[in-house]
Structure 1
Amino acid sequence: MSDWREYGPPIRVEGGLQARSRRGRIAQTWWSQRFIEVLESFGMGGRLQRGKRYARAGQVLNLSVSTSLVIGLVQGSRETPYRVRIGMKAFSPAEWARIEEALAGQALFAAKLLAGEMPAGIEAEFERLGLRLFPDTMREMTMDCSCPDWEIPCKHLAAACYLLAESFDEDPFQILAWRGRGREELLDRLRSLRGTVAGAAPAEPQAPPLAESLDSFWTMPPVSTTPARESPRPDALLDQLGPLAVEGVDVVEHLREAYRAMASGPDQEA
């Protein structure tokens, strides 16, 4: 005989993971919203909504993201919390090598990722490589819960999905970790590849050791043979005017005298 509490209200818990959003949309950033949109496109919209109350009530006890797998515990109506698992197909090492080269080759993408942000055009870049940042079909994802509900996702899995979306708000690298590449490993690869792309900076010239330059240490440095640049004439600008006469008076020559006088400063008293 089934336990009557199996279909009753959930047991309230203290200290669970609680969605920050109290009403309306939970995901805030474009990449988190995109994740929820993808799940809803699989026909999960109605079922996801049932988990939103669980997410906001703090029924999810814990949630962790690792390569290809998200696991968590959700408190339902039974005393023992339910175990939830959400799997994602990871990219192969060869696919990640192509991804890293593509991202490192785009200065904006590399800069955004190194600053901890998800570039707006990153989805298109993945698609250019024939890959998808977010799952394209349900075949790329696996979900299961230890509860007796046969629907996938059940409200426990749905609650985990909402909190997962919020975790993507705080750390977009969790999406990439889910796809098989951790934050530090990816950033190290991007730094290395960016250094290769940009090329090493020319080395600064090194002074010879003191022991090898004692004979010349106290001598004057060589005098530069580069000729000094001639100071421009104060009236050089007037050369561009050409002849200019007013009532027979050469205005340009009068202006030259004025320019030269201003450049030489006030007359000194004898």
Structure 2
Amino acid sequence: MNPATQSSNWSERWTNFLLAHGLENRLQHGLHYAQQGHVLDIDISKGHISARVQGSRAKPYRVEIRVKAFPCEIWDTVLTTIASQAALSAAIINGEMPENIENIFQEAGVALFPQVLKEIDTACTCPDIANPCKHIAAIFYILGQEFTKDPLIIFLLRGKTRDSLLTDLMNKRNALQQDVISQLPNNLLPAESPAPPDLAEVIRNFWQTDNKLTELVPVANATPDACRLLHQLGKPPDWPDGPDFIEMLEPLYTHVSKKFL
């Protein structure tokens, strides 16, 4: 499932959650307010949403929405489980919401998505006695759009910022990998690379030799360098059987090489 589909599902689920609690009429009014640009600003932080909505009065109304954040112990349990599964970790790091993410929260004893309306605490400074009012409903609508843009906002509403989520997840992944390495037999552990020699020491001793140089055995060249070509070419094809061609010219080659080389 691609991220767009995941985001759409979370947005639809949020809408269905509100409709299931009889807020259809309020949502229609909220939709109208949101589409008309009455929502002046909105801020989403850990377990809290604050916004300003322009109503019939000159001064905008202040809307506050609170969602119960999970304690650190719950997040520690959840992130430990996610970190132990590479596919889940990769999805979260890429900003995607895994399909089975809610199962992990359920195993930790909580529900990631709100189950009942009373889990969401709402307030507005408008005189409307109904709660949620149309100003709150407008923020509900905007929140559904935010789920479409970024499904990880549900984590923020449950008390975990994106930066903290990714940092804690990476730390737990590293800790698990180190634990696996520590349990490997010594012969399977990666060998440590030797430290490179000091450059100044290498330069200072570059031209020095050790005792191994005395072990080298020089090989005598049976053929003098001056006569090497002569021996390779041999005598001319028409040379008579008389005196040896190479024996005759070898002294001359030797003399010339000593004279000019």
Identity of aligned residues (%): 38
**Following the alignment from structure 2 to structure 1, what is the Cα–Cα distance between the partners of residues 195 and 52?**
64
**Following the alignment from structure 2 to structure 1, what is the Cα–Cα distance between the partners of residues 191 and 52?**
55
Residue correspondence of structure 1 range 238-253 to structure 2 within 5 A: none
**Following the alignment from structure 1 to structure 2, what is the Cα–Cα distance between the partners of residues 45 and 109?**
35
Q: Kindly provide the amino acid, as one letter, of the partner of residue 158 in structure 1.
A: A
Larger radius of gyration: 2
Cα deviation code 1:3-31 (max 9, x no counterpart): xxxxxxxxxxxxxxxxxxxxxxxx96222
Q: 1:202 to 1:73 in 2, by over 3 A?
A: farther
Q: 1:68 to 1:190 in 2, by over 3 A?
A: same
Cα deviation code 1:230-252 (max 9, x no counterpart): xxxxxxxxxxxxxxxxxxxxxxx
Q: 1:72 to 1:103 in 2, by over 3 A?
A: same
Q: Is the 8 A contact 2:124 2:135 kept in 1?
A: yes
Shift of 1:181: 0.8
1:134 maps to which of 103, 113, 118: 113
Shift of 1:218: 8.3
In the alignment, does 2:59 pair up with 1:80? yes
Q: Kindly provide the amino acid, as one letter, of the partner of residue 161 in structure 2.
A: G
**Following the alignment from structure 1 to structure 2, what is the Cα–Cα distance between the partners of residues 173 and 110?**
13
In the alignment, does 2:170 pair up with 1:184? no
Cα deviation code 1:144-191 (max 9, x no counterpart): 111111222111111101111212222233221111111101100000
Q: Is the 8 A contact 2:49 2:65 kept in 1?
A: yes
**Following the alignment from structure 2 to structure 1, what is the Cα–Cα distance between the partners of residues 55 and 133?**
11
In structure 2, the residue matched to 1:194 is: 173
What TM-score do the two structures reach when normalised by structure 1?
A: 0.65
| RMSD of aligned Cα (Å) | 2.8
1:206 maps to which of 172, 194, 200: 194
Shift of 1:37: 2.0
When the two structures are aligned, how many residues end up with a matched partner? 194
Q: Is the 8 A contact 1:177 1:183 kept in 2?
A: yes
Cα deviation code 1:109-141 (max 9, x no counterpart): 211111111112111221122211111122311
What TM-score do the two structures reach when normalised by structure 2?
A: 0.67
Structure 1 gaps of 5+ residues are: 1-26, 221-270
Shift of 1:43: 2.2
Secondary structure of the residue aligned to 1:85 is strand
Cα deviation code 1:170-229 (max 9, x no counterpart): 2233221111111101100000111122336946523452449969x9899xxxxxxxxx
Q: Is the 8 A contact 2:67 2:119 kept in 1?
A: yes
Q: Is the 8 A contact 2:123 2:131 kept in 1?
A: yes
Cα deviation code 1:22-75 (max 9, x no counterpart): xxxxx9622222222222222223321221111111110000011111010011
